[in-house]
Structures are given as structure tokens and as C-alpha cells.
Amino acid sequence: MDVVFGFVGYDFSLVVADCASVQQIIVQKSDEDKIVEIDKCKVMAMSGPKGDCVAFGEYLKANVRLYRLKHGHELDTKAVSHYARNEMAQALRSGPYQVNTLLAGYDEGQGPSLYFMDYLATGHKVNSAGHGYGGMFCLSLFDKHWVPNMSRAQAMDLVDRCISEVIERLVTAPTDYLVKIVDKNGC
């Protein structure tokens, strides 16, 4: 029942994830951070089994850091997206990660970007996306209310609309959400 969605604004990328950790009908935690900071200008929101999300998030974060230490420069968001997709594709043949992700980042000279990846290693650069039941309810709101080059005020208004829609439509909707914005200054 994860709710994860995100979109791109004028000079930022934004991802939102619910804070609930549930196992079937039992709420285990209500302050779970499902958004991993890969580096100072990239974050990845994940949905799926908690063990897979934690393992994949830490693995990706460590390998992106290792690349930076080894080669002396950081990967851009597109390169991190391709790396994550490749790792998911390789794992799909052995012990797959059941993780759906949204990778948001900001790169100098390229601006903000958002990449959609699912557990089958499908990856696309998108302007807006969502995972989970709640994320699917947000897609119709993105079609109607998302505009290119939207301001932060417009973005936060759209986030509020999406959360209100999820709470209204889902019987077991999470009540707490975490919003992370990535821009040229970092997360």
C-alpha cells in the first residue's frame, strides 16, 4: 500500500512518499523514510517490500559513492538511472528486487529530471509519475494540473491535492507523508 509520486518543476525535482510501514493489516511504523539520498543532488523514492527497498537503496548509494571516489567526479542523474536499471535487470535473473523507484535529481547544465523504474527494470525519463495505489490516483491530477516550469508554490499546491485525493479514495490511506525537493543547492 505504498504511495510514491513525484514530478519536475521549473528548477527542481520533487518526490513524495508516505511514512507508513505496514505488513498486511498491521502498521509497524508511521515514521518510515522511503526516500534515499543517493548524493547531494539525487534522491530515490522506493516502494515495495521493505527488505528489498533498504538493500537496493543502500547498494545503489554505496556504489554511486564508490564511483565518485574512484573516478573523481559524480555521475549525472541519467547515468545513475541507467546504472540502477542495469542492476535491477541483472537481479531479475537471479534474486530479484521487488522495488519500484522514482529517481529525482538536478544536474548543472541539464536542470531537473525524474526517472521512473519498476521492478521489471523498465526505466523512463518522465515529467511526473507515481507508484502504488495512491500514486495511480495522482496520475489523473498530474494530467490536469501539472504544467511545465511550475513554481514551488504551484508544486506544493499539487502535492496537497494529490495527498487529499489519496486520503479521500483509499480506505487504508496513510496519513503522514514526506516531501523531498532536489535543486541546484541539493536536497
Cα 28 from Cα 88, distance rounded (Å): 27
The confidence score (pLDDT) of residue 170 equals 81
The confidence score (pLDDT) of residue 85 equals 94
Cα 29 from Cα 82, distance rounded (Å): 32
Q: Using only the alpha carbons of the chain, give its radius of gyration.
A: 16
The confidence score (pLDDT) of residue 88 equals 93
From first to last of its 187 residues, the chain has per-residue pLDDT tens of: 688 999 999 999 999 998 877 777 777 777 788 899 999 999 999 998 888 999 999 999 999 999 999 998 899 999 999 999 999 999 988 888 899 999 999 999 899 999 999 999 999 999 999 998 888 889 999 999 999 889 999 999 999 999 999 888 887 777 889 999 999 998 8
Q: Whole-model pTM?
A: 0.91
138 in Cβ contact with 108 (< 8 Å)? no
The confidence score (pLDDT) of residue 173 equals 74
157 CB neighbour count, 10 Å cutoff: 13
List helix spans (H) across the chain: 50-71, 77-92, 132-145, 152-169
Q: Which residues contact 32 (CB under 8 A, 6 or more apart)?
A: 19, 20, 21, 50
